[in-house]
Amino acid sequence: MESNGESLHVAMFPWFAFGHISPFIQLSNKLFSHGIKVSFLSPPSNIQRISSSLQSQIQIIPLQIPPVEGLPPGIESTAEMTPHMAELLKTALDAMKPQISTLLSQLKPHIIFHDFTHQWLPSLASPLGIKTLFYSVFAALPGAYLINPARLLTSSNNIEDPECCFPCTHDDHQNLSPSKIPTIEDLKRPPLGFPCDSSITSLKNFEARDLTYVFMRFGGPSVFERGIACQKNCSAMVIKSCLEMEAPYIKFIETQFGKPVLVTGPVVPEPNPAKLDQRWDEWLGAFDPKSIVFCSFGSETFLEDEQIRELVLGLEMVGLPFLVVLNFPGGEDGGARLKAALPEGFEERVKEKGRVHTGWVQQQQILAHQSVGCFVCHAGLSSITEGLVNDCQLVLLAQKGDQYLNSKLVSGDWKAGVEVKRNEEDGSFFKEDLCEAVRSVMVGGEEEPCKSVRANQKKWKDFLLDKETQDKFTRDFVAKLKEMVFK
């Protein structure tokens, strides 16, 4: 781990959203366990939550968020923000360049891992001799489908340069004009050169419409512009995946940018040592093994009231015990919103075998409980991994962004879960759709496709729980980092 007595030192600089921070924490812990010195950059208000998950010897470096009009001081993660405020936080991040430059000069890490929002970081780190690794906390598929030069060539609004080659070296493809923004029809189709062996051949209207956000500007560079610049200018790209799970997409990305793509493996989190709260342990323990349907959409994904009603009525129709966790945008009274959203008389009808809760819960421990057998989720990558390692059948109800593509990866390429049927235009679903999806994996018996889905779910569960395989991912990744720095 050393060269001439010098230990490898890496810095971690995630975007200030806990869906991004958590994978950086998990990777930090993996690297630290292999003897690498880690410094973790974070705004002060997030440090307490971060420190509870990081190895205690990892140094946390506090950052100061510059004031931006409209951005309340002291609120420094997107979990507490409206979408508009989250865009202002990106503006504040861009204003941190002088602070980060000074900090890197003092810390002198060999490598800094950075997120998609940090497109200016390579130009700061390179003169200091620091390698920059763009760490995508998403699966490889979303990047292969969306954030690459080929996506612009698929745009019907961008036909003036049909001879553009791969990897793209045209500077204007990192600076979108309105005429080059892909349309909904464009985004329903994969980009040029997309792997032909993918099960994803098209998206629905509501999915493609949501993905147009990636190309929109809100006073600063779009997500697409930031992501393209990060990948174009970094020393190498890092993806939280592996060839076993996503080989075609990883190779496509490598071809697009003509530079190394390192894989960390799926970075399976260690089991949470904390005990499950007695309240939930006793309630879950009253039911048969693998009989409970657990439903949660994370801390930053929210359902409209009408869809909440269809969700809970659909679970009632299934006939199995269930636990639903629903959250609402910051500042709202979750209890009042939940009460208003639930159908009249619902809680009384299901009180013997159903619970609906708002607020934080111990998701990992609940999924690990022997009575939980199905996980209805928003198809966030971390949730998918947690569901699989805890032997839960996956029912996927994606709500935004990369979740739509994750859902198709699991249900299409892997055939290890099922998607809930949705309306083509607005993505809405009915209680019957939810009921059908859950019943197909929970009470489908030996009939196809239930048998096939269960077999594939078990295959990926065993793969993720194979300690030797997962440790080898980290060892190989560390070896590549050492080669990059000490060669």
1-42 per-position pLDDT tens digit? 455 556 899 999 999 998 899 999 999 999 999 999 999 999
Number of domains in the chain: 2
Report d(CA 439, CA 206) in Å as an integer.
Answer: 25
Backbone angles phi, psi at 477, to 5 degrees: -65, -45
The count of C-alpha atoms lying within 13 angstroms of the C-alpha of 241, restricted to the half-sphere facing its C-beta, is 26
Q: Measure CA 41 to chain center.
A: 20
Claim to verify: residue 308 and residue 179 sit in the same structural domain: no
Report d(CA 78, CA 83) in Å as an integer.
Answer: 8
For the chain, the C-alpha Rg in angstroms (whole number) is 22
Q: DSSP letter string over 207-254?
A: HHHHHGGGG--SSS--HHHHHHHHHHHSSEEEES--HHHHHHHHHHHH
CATH code of 62's domain: 3.40.50.2000
- Asked if 406 and 211 count as a contact pair (C-beta separation under 8 A), the reply is no
Crossing angle of helices 44-51 and 18-33, rounded to 10°: 50
- Asked if 65 and 92 count as a contact pair (C-beta separation under 8 A), the reply is yes
Claim to verify: residue 345 and residue 219 sit in the same structural domain: no
Claim to verify: residue 111 and residue 15 sit in the same structural domain: yes
Claim to verify: residue 71 and residue 106 sit in the same structural domain: yes
Claim to verify: residue 122 and residue 259 sit in the same structural domain: yes
Whole-structure pTM over 0.85, yes or no? yes
Claim to verify: residue 331 and residue 415 sit in the same structural domain: yes
Cα dihedral angle (270, 276, 280, 284), rounded to 10 degrees? 60
Burial (CB count within 10 angstroms: exposed 0-12, middle 13-18, buried 19+), residue 150: buried
| Predicted pLDDT at 316 | 96
**How distant, in Å, are the alpha carbons of 309, 317, 401, 423, 436 from that of 430?**
9, 12, 22, 9, 10
Report d(CA 93, CA 91) in Å as an integer.
Answer: 5
CB contact burial 372-408 (16+ within 10 A = b; e otherwise): bbbbbbbbbbbbbbbbbbbbbbbbbbbbbbbbbbbbb
Range of the domain at 201: 2-269+467-486
The two three-digit tokens of residue 347, written as one number: 């809680």
Which ranges of 126-222 would DSSP assign to H, the alpha helix?
A: 140-145, 149-153, 184-187, 205-211
Q: Which residue has the tokens 């260690």?
A: 270
Which ranges of 37-146 would DSSP assign to H, the alpha helix?
A: 44-51, 83-94, 97-107, 121-125, 140-145
Claim to verify: residue 161 and residue 284 sit in the same structural domain: no
Q: Which of 232, 240, 120, 265 is nearest to 166 (CA)?
A: 232
Claim to verify: residue 151 and residue 96 sit in the same structural domain: yes
Amino acid at 300: E
The two three-digit tokens of residue 117, written as one number: 């929002």
Give the residue numbers marked as catalytic. Answer: 20, 115
Q: Which of 420, 406, 418, 422 is nearest to 451 (CA)?
A: 418
Claim to verify: residue 412 and residue 294 sit in the same structural domain: yes
pLDDT in tens, the chain (487 residues): 455 556 899 999 999 998 899 999 999 999 999 999 999 999 999 999 899 889 989 999 999 999 999 998 888 888 878 888 999 999 999 999 999 999 999 999 999 999 999 999 999 999 999 999 999 999 999 999 999 999 987 665 543 343 333 334 444 444 445 457 899 999 999 999 999 999 999 999 999 999 999 999 988 899 999 999 999 999 999 999 999 999 999 999 999 999 999 999 999 988 888 899 999 999 999 999 999 999 999 877 889 999 999 999 999 999 999 999 998 876 567 788 888 889 999 999 999 999 999 988 999 999 999 999 999 999 999 999 999 999 999 999 999 999 999 999 999 999 999 999 999 999 999 999 999 999 999 986 556 667 889 999 999 999 999 999 999 999 999 999 999 999 8
| Cβ count near 17 (within 10 Å) | 19
CB contact burial 329-349 (16+ within 10 A = b; e otherwise): eeeeeeeebbeebbeeebeee
Claim to verify: residue 327 and residue 456 sit in the same structural domain: yes
With H, G, I as helix, E, B as strand and everything else as coil, classify residue 41: strand
Claim to verify: residue 223 and residue 233 sit in the same structural domain: yes
Claim to verify: residue 354 and residue 418 sit in the same structural domain: yes
At a CB cut-off of 8 Å and minimum separation 6, what does 4 contact?
Answer: none
